[in-house]
Amino acid sequence: MIRLERRREPSRLWSYVTPVLAVIATMIAGGLMFAALGKDPFEVIRTIFWDPVLGEFAFYYRGQLLIKAGPLILIAIGLSLGFRAGIWNIGAEGQYIIGAICGAAVGLAFYPMDARWLIFPLMILAGAVGGFLWAMIPAILKTRFNTNEILVSLLLVYVAEQLLASMALGALRNPEGSGFPGSRNLRRYESSANTELFEGTGMHWGVVAAFIAVIFAYILLNRHMLGYQIRLTGQAPRAARFAGVRPNLLVVFCLGASGALAGLAGMFEVAGPAGQVSIDFNVGYGFTAIIVAFLGRLHPVGILLAGLLMALTYIGGEAAQSTLGLPAAAIQAFQGMLLFFLLAVDMLTNYRFRFGKREVA
């Protein structure tokens, strides 16, 4: 007989091993899926994970790696704070969109003024405030009416998508664009462009902000009383209440921080790689960041590494689509498998397998 037995305390070893097992299991299951699609699984896996790092065009891909990883890390860091406290913000995609809209609106409002020292900082502030205010909707509803933050934040994503379409077709549409949807290209104007700091590296201010967020999150969680309260609330809610933790303030802080960081990611993306507000601006970073947060074990350094790995699947997936004719849906399914297997093997952190007959008392 094989049975599961709960561990007396979570295994620290398995908490580090399970992400590696999840990646290996994803490669195996993904390989079977690619084979079913008529593709060589080894060639696909090589294209996704090897070519962008050590392949013929690795230098180009390495720059793209930071561009893709920046928003994922920035959003995942914010989400991890709430997840550690048992506060589930699933609507980071909406906060990402609103941050992009607010940041772009400020940049376009000053067009064609040339004052980067003023305009770009205001865009950063607007992006953070936009994401923060959008996250305050589920936060206030949670604290005042005890609504489910998962449902509210998720449904607000669809509202944000409609606002994005409305702005691309209306208020922010380029008046010189011959009626085509989309705003002016922010990268063409020095005052509002989030340009590369070092040419060819992919390093822009959004990537810098992501690294800063990792450092601050690490200090907060390990060296600050607020970080202790976040960890205590997630591990022992009753003990947290006895310790004087104010749950409503914690909800507001965690949702507000994750919303502000998601809004920053949106602003840096619209002013940099994307360049403009368009109907298809959002590419799912807010949802993919959930996978990054859990793959990184909700730890800032782990999220940094997980963000780079997930960015690798984006870049390698695009390469596989162009060179091997792999459908985009297959890459999305491959990324989803990663979260599925991570949650599955994560069971080994809290449980162990036991073999033999169960002893009867």
Angle at 105 between CA 180 and CA 284, to 5 degrees: 75
- Domain annotation for the chain: domains and CATH numbers: 59-326 (1.10.3470.10)
pLDDT in tens, 179-208: 889 999 998 888 889 988 888 788 999 999
Q: What is the pTM of this model?
A: 0.92
Beta bridge partners, 353, equal 4
Ramachandran angles phi, psi of 230, nearest 5°: -65, -50
Judged by phi (left if over 0) then psi (alpha if -120 to 50, else beta), residue 297 lies in left
The two structure tokens encoding residue 228: 């202790």
Q: What is the pLDDT of residue 359?
A: 59
pLDDT in tens, 240-277: 888 888 999 999 999 999 999 999 999 999 999 998 99
pLDDT tier for residue 361 given thresholds of 50, 70 and 90: low
Average pLDDT over the chain, rounded to an integer: 91
Name 361's Cβ contacts closer than 8 Å, sequence gap at least 6. none
Name 47's Cβ contacts closer than 8 Å, sequence gap at least 6. 316, 319, 320, 323, 324
Cα-trace Rg, the chain: 22
Q: Where are the alpha helices (DSSP H) in 110-246?
A: 116-145, 149-169, 205-223, 225-235, 237-242
Q: Write down how long the chain is.
A: 361
pLDDT in tens, 156-174: 999 999 999 999 999 999 9
Q: Reduce the DSSP state of residue 361 to 3 states and report it.
A: coil
In this structure, the number of other CB atoms found within 10 A of the CB of residue 340 comes to 15
Q: Reduce the DSSP state of residue 359 to 3 states and report it.
A: coil
In this structure, the number of other CB atoms found within 10 A of the CB of residue 163 comes to 16
Q: Would the pLDDT of 6 be above 70?
A: yes
The two structure tokens encoding residue 138: 């589920």
Q: E-strand spans in 9-79?
A: none
Q: What is the pLDDT of residue 108?
A: 94
pLDDT in tens, 56-108: 777 777 778 999 999 999 999 999 999 999 999 999 999 999 999 999 999 99
Q: What is the pLDDT of residue 12?
A: 84
Measure the CA–CA gap between 31 and 361, rounded to whole angstroms: 47
pLDDT in tens, 332-359: 899 889 888 988 888 888 888 887 666 5
CB 94 within 8 A of CB 159: yes
Measure the CA–CA gap between 181 and 306, rounded to whole angstroms: 35
End-to-end CA distance of the chain: 17
State the average pLDDT over residues 291-301: 93
Helix or strand holding residue 89 (H, E): none
Measure the CA–CA gap between 311 and 149, rounded to whole angstroms: 28
Residue with tokens 């664009």: 177
Q: E-strand spans in the chain?
A: 2-6, 351-355
pLDDT in tens, 101-135: 999 999 999 998 888 889 999 999 999 999 999 99
pLDDT tier for residue 360 given thresholds of 50, 70 and 90: low
State the average pLDDT over residues 29-51: 92
Q: What is the pLDDT of residue 357?
A: 66
The share of the chain scoring above pLDDT 70, in percent, equals: 98
State the average pLDDT over residues 137-144: 96
**Spatial CA neighbour of 270 closest among 199, 161, 186, 181:** 186
Q: Would the pLDDT of 1 be above 90?
A: no
pLDDT tier for residue 37 given thresholds of 50, 70 and 90: very high
